[in-house]
Amino acid sequence: MKPQYVKDYHPNLLSWHEFENIINIRPLMSQERVHILAPEAEMFWDNDVWTTNPGCYPPTVLREAIKKYTCWFTEMSRSTETLNAATHKLELECKSAVDAHIYSCIKPEDHPFGIHFDGNDNVIVQCEGKTHWKVWDEVFDREQYSKQMNIVSEPIIDTIMEPGDAVFIPAYYPHLATSITSRLSVSFAMPVPTDPWGGIYQERDWVRL
């Protein structure tokens, strides 16, 4: 499949307020799920007597990190009912396990990876703000360094994404996201067909009492 841009793909997928609710659940904010793109930053904190996982970011540390750096959060597909339903819909359509990764960028800037490609397919939905997306044609030298690429050719997609818009980017297609405003987006990641993990699905039942 080729990259594709879709206008108004999923309005109201995730709001800043819903994101705030997620990041305030400290047990969810483990170092395995939270990725702060600031390798030079050192973060320390004390844990209270009730903390069961000392590796979870406390709210004050996480707030400062989100304000300063681009952050992304993995294994978020069950963090809201809407995200869970949207992930399940993609799993049925694509016949592959899917996860939802939340990206936040408060300060408008280029993506810290620069032009880069991923080893899996992604459907990226703009939730809040505006982002300038560029996507280039597929690369076949997949042993090269996949970040901070230098590409002089014209992109095959060059568009401003607004809330609700989406772009499908298959594996090995270089792309660049430049935040025009503060940005909140969700990337639905899908393993490539040869990945054995693609057949192991997370439960999508939603508990109601």
- Within a domain: 44: no
By the 8 A CB rule, do 157 and 3 touch?
yes
Angle at 161 between CA 115 and CA 164, to 5 degrees: 130
- Whether 176 maps to a domain, the answer reads yes
The Cβ of residue 34 has, within 10 Å, a number of other Cβ atoms equal to 20
Query: Looking at residue 19, which CATH number applies to its domain?
Result: 2.60.120.650
In the block, residue with structure tokens 């799920």: 33
Residue 67: C-alpha distances to residues 76, 105, 116, 180 (Å): 20, 8, 24, 16
DSSP structural state of residue 34: E
Mean of all residue pLDDT scores within the chain: 91
38: pLDDT strictly greater than 90: no
Domain assignment of residue 201, yes or no: no
Q: Domain for residue 183, yes or no?
A: yes
CA–chain centroid gap for 22, Å, is 14
Q: Give the pLDDT mean for 68-82.
A: 96
- Is 200 part of any domain? no
The reported pLDDT for the residue numbered 110 is: 58
Residue pair 120/192 in contact by the 8 Å Cβ criterion: yes
Percent of the chain with pLDDT over 90: 73
pLDDT digits (tens, 9 = 90+) for 139-169: 988 777 677 788 889 999 999 999 999 999 9
Evaluate whether residue 42 is within a structural domain.
no
Q: How far apart are CA 35 and CA 31, in angstroms?
A: 7
* Residue spans of alpha helices (H) in the chain: 16-23, 59-68, 81-94
Give me 155's structure tokens: 């992109």
Looking up tokens 């508990």, which residue turns up?
207
Residue given tokens 């992604």 in the structure block: 122
Is 67 a domain residue? yes
CB 205, CB 166: distance < 8 Å: no
Residue 46 domain-assigned (yes or no) = no
Q: What is the pTM of this model?
A: 0.92
Whether the Cβ atoms of residue 163 and residue 128 lie closer than 8 Å to each other: yes
Best CA proximity match to 13, nearest among 208, 187, 192: 187
Rounded Cα–Cα distance for residues 66 and 62 (Å)? 6
pLDDT for residue 34 = 96
Structural domain tally of the chain? 1
Domain that holds residue 16: 4-36+57-189
Confidence of residue 39 (pLDDT cuts 50, 70, 90): low
